[in-house]
């Protein structure tokens, strides 16, 4: 059997309908960047607009920019744009705060919408901050609730009439495994529970249709596949039919019906704006808006098709080139069952990731033995996949990763 060659990957690039998007990003020379699932690359237009907003809007127009340049409208405007990426009709998504804080808002809302129920159900191995925020809320509420974690295949069966909310991350941050958003939402609803989806590792890379799935609540990260910049604000989705029933627990002035009336009593804004809290981070929102605008130019079907070709190409090549390396696939074998990420396992994972980085192939490591590689369809080439795996092959074949300098832990990513 003929193996895959670099020419195969070059041909994929030549045929890639998204190939022109790469030029929209600032990318370092000589680097294969497979960590866009942790921090997305810089869109050139975000850099340009930030420069303009800082110099002209902040610098020249100052306070008047809130109206003149509609800074005040940013959280809802960018929210609606993100809504188009996740299948949310207008008026259901708003941007502000971090994913963690947004999770708190939605968990508090869920527990109040299902006040007679006590369980937050989640998947074992969900992203830690999701779990931590639930633990903090439960403790704050006096311990009347319970966070229950079950394995993936037990999820559906674990939902019962005491489940207030099923809190799940669509794409697992360690393995890249994709949950069935539609089926699990339906399973939650069958028992009267709410479905809260964390889309941090999906938005911008994996198709999501929140409205069609009937999802109740969702959050997502702005700085991974969305390319909004380091620490970009997150977004929240609240299905329209729940909005009027929610009294925001984080009841800040930006979520007030009339923020500039400076009333003495909090009255939540009707609609999704009630989920806002404090003054939004304008600079971060500006960068995120440009990044989202860029995503909206690429059809999600093409993004998903390329994403699957990238991840499957990587998996196929690892099988072909690294079969003796001791590396094992950590996630699904089938491209349909994973997000835009491939994870491998190896006891020397940390050092291997460092050694790869030294050779210009940037992935990241997740304890205890996971090598993560994210594939951002808008700026990665298929030849990047080839080059990355060949570098990995060389490192494994020569054992060059197994050095003290690579084993020394310093990473915070």
List residues bridging with 362 in a β-sheet: 33
Catalytic residue of the set 105, 224, 306, 308 = 224
Q: Please give the Cα distance from 102 to 258 (Å, whole number).
A: 22
Catalytic residue of the set 9, 21, 33, 127 = 127
CB-nearer residue toward a copy of itself: 108 or 218: 108
CB-nearer residue toward a copy of itself: 41 or 322: 41
CB of 260 to a copy of itself, least distance (A): 5
Strand, helix or coil at 380? coil
Catalytic residue of the set 223, 237, 314, 350 = 223
Q: Determine phi and psi for 179, rounding to 5 degrees.
A: -85, 160
Contact (Cβ atoms closer than 8 angstroms) between residue 180 and residue 158: no
Q: State yes or no: is 127 an active-site residue.
A: yes
Give the CB-side neighbour count of residue 367, counting CA atoms within 13 A.
6
Q: State yes or no: is 117 an active-site residue.
A: no
Task: Render the burial of 370-381: b for 16+ CB within 10 Å, e for the rest.
Answer: bbbbbbbbbbbb
E strands, 267-369, are: 328-329, 341-345, 361-362, 364-366
**Nearest alpha carbon to residue 295 among 205, 218, 230, 384:** 205
CB-nearer residue toward a copy of itself: 322 or 353: 353
CA 2 to chain centre: 37
Q: Please give the Cα distance from 250 to 277 (Å, whole number).
A: 6
Q: Please give the Cα distance from 221 to 228 (Å, whole number).
A: 9
Task: Render the burial of 398-407: b for 16+ CB within 10 Å, e for the rest.
Answer: eeebeeeebe
CB-nearer residue toward a copy of itself: 198 or 321: 198
CB of 104 to a copy of itself, least distance (A): 6
Q: Determine phi and psi for 371, rounding to 5 degrees.
A: -100, 120
CB of 61 to a copy of itself, least distance (A): 7
Contact (Cβ atoms closer than 8 angstroms) between residue 147 and residue 176: no
CB of 173 to a copy of itself, least distance (A): 8
User: Token match 């981070």: residue?
Assistant: 281
CB of 105 to a copy of itself, least distance (A): 10
CB-nearer residue toward a copy of itself: 91 or 259: 259
CB of 120 to a copy of itself, least distance (A): 14
Pairing of strands 119-123, 146-150: parallel
CB of 316 to a copy of itself, least distance (A): 26
Catalytic residue of the set 102, 198, 216, 384 = 198
Q: State yes or no: is 162 an active-site residue.
A: no
Token digits for 288?
A: 């995120």
Q: Please give the Cα distance from 283 to 133 (Å, whole number).
A: 26
CB-nearer residue toward a copy of itself: 226 or 309: 226
CB of 214 to a copy of itself, least distance (A): 27
Strand, helix or coil at 237? strand
Catalytic residue of the set 114, 273, 304, 372 = 372
Contact (Cβ atoms closer than 8 angstroms) between residue 10 and residue 382: yes
Q: State yes or no: is 198 an active-site residue.
A: yes
CB-nearer residue toward a copy of itself: 320 or 411: 411
Q: State yes or no: is 11 an active-site residue.
A: no
List residues bridging with 33 in a β-sheet: 362
CB-nearer residue toward a copy of itself: 307 or 354: 354
**Nearest alpha carbon to residue 220 among 82, 81, 78:** 82
* Positions marked active-site: 127, 198, 223-224, 372
């Amino acid at each position: 059997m003929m193996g895959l060659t670099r020419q195969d990957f070059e041909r994929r690039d030549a045929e890639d309908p998204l190939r022109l998007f790469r030029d929209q990003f600032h990318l370092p020379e000589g680097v294969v960047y497979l960590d866009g699932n942790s921090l997305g690359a810089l869109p050139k237009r975000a850099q340009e607009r930030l420069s303009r907003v800082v110099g002209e809007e902040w610098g020249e127009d100052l306070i008047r920019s809130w109206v003149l340049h509609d800074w005040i409208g940013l959280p809802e405007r960018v929210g609606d744009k993100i809504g188009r990426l996740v299948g949310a009709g207008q008026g259901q998504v708003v941007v502000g705060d971090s994913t963690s804080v947004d999770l708190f808002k939605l968990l508090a809302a869920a527990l109040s919408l299902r006040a007679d129920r006590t369980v937050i159900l989640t998947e074992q191995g969900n992203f830690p901050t999701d779990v931590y925020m639930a633990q903090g809320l439960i403790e704050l509420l006096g311990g009347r609730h319970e966070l229950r974690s079950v394995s993936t295949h037990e999820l559906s069966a674990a939902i019962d009439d005491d489940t207030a909310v099923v809190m799940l991350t669509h794409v697992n941050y360690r393995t890249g495994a994709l949950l069935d958003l539609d089926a699990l939402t339906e399973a939650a609803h069958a028992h009267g529970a709410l479905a809260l989806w964390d889309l941090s590792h999906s938005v911008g890379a994996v198709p999501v249709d929140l409205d069609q799935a009937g999802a109740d609540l969702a959050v997502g990260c702005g700085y991974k596949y969305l390319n909004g910049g380091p620490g970009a604000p997150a977004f929240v989705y609240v299905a329209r039919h729940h909005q009027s029933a929610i009294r925001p627990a984080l009841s800040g002035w930006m979520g007030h019906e009339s923020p500039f009336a400076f009333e003495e009593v909090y009255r939540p804004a009707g609609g999704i704006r009630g989920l806002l809290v404090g003054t939004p981070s304008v600079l971060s929102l500006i960068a995120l808006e440009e990044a989202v605008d860029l995503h909206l130019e690429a059809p999600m079907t093409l993004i998903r098709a390329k994403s699957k070709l990238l991840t499957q190409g990587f998996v196929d090549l690892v099988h072909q080139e690294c079969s003796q390396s001791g590396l094992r696939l950590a996630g699904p074998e089938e491209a349909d069952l994973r997000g835009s990420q491939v994870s491998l396992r190896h006891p020397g994972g940390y050092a291997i990731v460092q050694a790869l980085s030294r050779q210009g192939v940037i992935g990241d490591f997740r304890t205890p033995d996971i090598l993560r590689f994210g594939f951002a369809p808008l700026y990665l080439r298929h030849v990047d996949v080839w080059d990355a795996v060949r570098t990995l092959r060389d490192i494994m074949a020569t054992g060059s990763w197994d050095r003290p300098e690579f084993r020394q832990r310093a990473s915070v990513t």
